[in-house]
Amino acid sequence: MDLIASPPLRAPDPEAGAWGCYYRPAILAAAAVLLLGTFWFASRYPQLLSKSQHLGDALPSMAYGGELFPVDPADPEWLRVPATMGNWLNSMKIGMGFGVLLGALLHTALNFYPLKLGPNRHLNALKGALVGVPAGVCANCAVPVACGVTRGAGRVEAALGFLFSSPNFNPVVVAMTFSALPVAIALTKYAVLILVIAAAVPLFVRWFVRGPKPGLSFADDATCAVDLRVPCSQSFAEVLAELGRLYLTHVWELLRPTLVIMLGASFVASLALVFVPWGELLTDTSPGTLAVVSLLATAMPVPIALDVMFAGNLQAQGVPSGYVAMFAMSLGSYSLIPSIYLWREVSRRLAVALFLLFWGVSFVCGLVF
């Protein structure tokens, strides 16, 4: 995603009786309630509850739960690849659309009201994780949200806490995990994720994120075209129009790179799904094969809860428990899409370190179980 930095605007200092000072927070809060309420109650939680009722059902793919375009194994690869791409894009469209809209809203709000987080990276990561628990977006769809936080000069560790928490610690997903998987595997997964959020993320941010990126700081004598004064004398219509213009700008800034990344990720994922002989690989428990499969699983972008459903299916089919644990740990916790976001927006070293971390953890889980 292209880095487009916006300087934080100073919040207004409310004056007694000056209702204009409260227009902005009221509009932003109303927009957040409308956006979250629509997504949660019209889409996400009905979808998650439906998935919980279909635990154990056969899945067409590890990367999507339904087929808009039928994929017949007997068809040639040049037909199966675009059909697989279409099915993956269809499964991600609502979550990714919500991610873009929420990310743009956060970017807009943080311009006026910067997050007041302290220097304790561990505490900041846990705060981000707590916010991510009810959000219910997958690790891929959480990327625009995390991007909105970092573009709004928010803390990287808080954005990553949200990104790793949202697809895994949602209450419905937690219940599905303990219902579909052996208790030992489920407990191991969540113990590892807690350590990643509370310990690894703050340490990695400290080691690999070396201060603000170019373009995020302003010289003392620099002249900014944005008026940092936020007058309380503006009418409601003027404030609404100003926020609307800024919000739509941020939506477009997120939407353009998100579409490019989604198309690229869908192509790479479809190639892996069509050309990799998964059936043969999952019967081979050698460490070399396990390392290759865990690498592919770590990179594979999947919708929320599909990792649990797929690992549960493998468990029911009698696939070696090492692969069940490996997919439960890696598939859905990270992927190619968060790697691209971190590589382009935050730190290349951080992107590589987190990818290697999840790859290594999933590989070790496969060996242990």
Walk along the chain (369 residues) and give the pLDDT tens digit of each residue. 444 444 444 444 444 346 767 889 999 999 999 999 999 999 899 999 998 888 888 888 899 988 889 888 888 999 999 999 999 999 999 999 999 999 999 999 988 888 777 889 999 999 999 998 998 888 998 899 988 888 877 789 999 999 999 999 999 999 999 999 999 999 999 999 999 999 999 999 999 987 544 333 323 333 333 344 455 777 888 889 999 999 999 999 999 999 999 999 999 999 999 999 998 999 998 999 999 999 999 999 999 999 999 999 999 998 999 999 999 999 888 999 999 999 988 999 999 999 999 999 999 999 999
Residue 334's DSSP bridge partners are: 331
How far is it, in rounded angstroms, from Cα 12 to Cα 362? 48
How far is it, in rounded angstroms, from Cα 125 to Cα 157? 5
pTM, two decimal places = 0.85
How far is it, in rounded angstroms, from Cα 311 to Cα 214? 42
CB-side neighbour CA atoms (13 Å) of 337:
34
Q: Is 309 left (phi over 0), alpha (psi -120 to 50) or beta?
A: alpha
Cα separation values, 278 from 71, 293, 306, 314, Å: 16, 8, 17, 12
